[in-house]
Amino acid sequence: MPTPNQPTPPRYIWQHSAWPQLTFDTGALAAALDQARLEQGRLLGLLGAIGLEQANAVQRELWVQEALATAAIEGEQLNLESLRSSVAHRLQLADAPGSDRSVEGLVQVMQDALANHSTALDLDRLCRWQSALFPGGTSGIARIAVGRVRDHADAMQIVSGALGREVVHYEAPPSAQVAAHMDKFLAWFESTRPPREATAINGIARAALVHLWFESIHPFEDGNGRLGRALADMGLAQDMHAQDPQTNPALVRVYGMAHQMLKTRTKYYDALNHAQRLRGIAPEATSIDVTPWVQWFVQAFTQACIASQAVVLDATEKAQFRLRAAQCHINPRQSKVLDRLLDAGHVRSGGGFLGGMTNEKYARITGTSKATATRDLADLAANGLLRVEGVGKATRYAVNVPGWEQPALKP
């Protein structure tokens, strides 16, 4: 244990003399990177096959889910209606954005990172992003510095635990050093922008380094996590453009990285925290090996692509089902109920209409009598749009799409 006259031993990667030379073992990552490219290709192939209208619908829904997820990782819950309005506005599907300024700010940041991925990244742009996240200059009820890097004298720490029993997971560089750290980060970001043959880095691995490096600097008083994930998406968009300049960079949003990080939030934080600490790195090392972090990020990207493939397949199944329904000339009441069932999804996707549709639920949703509900449901079943499960009072109806199971009622 150091005495009062001895400096505290370095614990974090930014304190090492090799910082910020972040490296990884390309050989050890070869199989994971190949698998990531395979699933990425499958996802983009599915999107290319479903047509523009369905692709836009998928992109809209996944953008909403990504925004919800990147906020939820920080413990923030967004207004879903306002978020959907803002996303629709950015996709030119609605005239006006949502009414929540902080939601609109996050959507603007996400759009700028992807749509303008080829525009130079500088500190002013990042400051404007951070300012957009906190339009009132507050985080909750606390007033924070917005539109500029942090300048407070207190240590910037990532802490959890009850008051008096806090656990410090990470401590970022002092505020006085942030500008110098950011200069190096931004210079590297531009010098490695793909395609650059002289400094060729696998684009997915580069996005992992982008996220780790930015989060390690933690340059702002608040909003670093959301900005760091936007930068990772920006790196992935640059990689996608380098592979195929004709590909819409906004499709990178369908990868669902934030959603995957939220699903595995504990492992995400653990992997990031492990990478930020000086574990097993010799003092004389000339670079900092972060292979385990890049491995985690690449595998998360792969799983995100697989999850998004399921979303695309669901969208295809819904579109085909709606075409069948239109050919059956159903009435507005039936159409409303089918939309509710389709929007609810199914067990495989983590959704589903709890307990299935019943006469009582149908009557309540449509504001009609139980007799009319019975006739409407029977007609939908006769047309093959609903399947009947159970008998008598236990009769339930489910949307008739192969593989779509509905969650059962709890006993």
Provide the pLDDT confidence category of residue 31 given band limits of 50, 70 and 90. Answer: very high
- On the question of pLDDT at 3 being above 70, the answer is no
In a domain, 289, yes or no: yes
CATH code for the domain in which residue 172 is found: 1.10.3290.10
In a domain, 88, yes or no: yes
CATH code for the domain in which residue 375 is found: 1.10.10.10
DSSP string across 316-359: HHHHHHHHHHHHTT--HHHHHHHHHHHHH--GGGT---TT-B-H
Based on the structure, what is the number of domains in the chain?
2
Q: Do residues 355 and 305 share a domain?
A: no
Q: Do residues 186 and 115 share a domain?
A: yes
Q: Which residues contact 287 (CB under 8 A, 6 or more apart)?
A: 18, 21, 22, 23
Provide the pLDDT confidence category of residue 272 given band limits of 50, 70 and 90. Answer: very high
Q: Do residues 198 and 345 share a domain?
A: no
Angle, CA of 147, 215 and 32, to the nearest 5°: 140
Last residue of one domain, picked from the residues 313, 341, 371:
313
Of residues 22 and 102, the one with the higher pLDDT is 22
Residue 227 structural domain = 13-313
Q: Do residues 138 and 223 share a domain?
A: yes
In a domain, 320, yes or no: no
Q: Do residues 71 and 171 share a domain?
A: yes
**Considering the chain, what percentage of its residues have pLDDT values greater than 70?**
91
Q: Do residues 181 and 265 share a domain?
A: yes
Q: Do residues 337 and 238 share a domain?
A: no
Q: Do residues 128 and 87 share a domain?
A: yes
- On the question of pLDDT at 1 being above 60, the answer is no
In a domain, 404, yes or no: no
Looking at this protein, which amino acid is placed at residue 362?
Y
Q: Do residues 266 and 372 share a domain?
A: no
Half-sphere exposure (Cβ direction) of 290: Cα atoms closer than 13 Å? 33
Q: Residue 390 — left, alpha, or beta (φ > 0 → left; ψ -120 to 50 → alpha)?
A: left
- Model confidence over 245-260: pLDDT tens digits? 777 766 777 888 999 9
Q: Residue 51 — left, alpha, or beta (φ > 0 → left; ψ -120 to 50 → alpha)?
A: left
pTM, two decimal places: 0.85
Last residue of one domain, picked from the residues 313, 345, 361:
313
- On the question of pLDDT at 129 being above 60, the answer is yes
- On the question of pLDDT at 408 being above 80, the answer is no
Residue 18: how many other CB atoms lie within 10 Å = 17
- On the question of pLDDT at 236 being above 60, the answer is yes
How far from the centroid of its chain's Cα atoms is residue 407's Cα?
26
Q: Do residues 153 and 281 share a domain?
A: yes
State how far the Cα of 74 lies from the Cα of 398, in Å rounded to an integer: 36
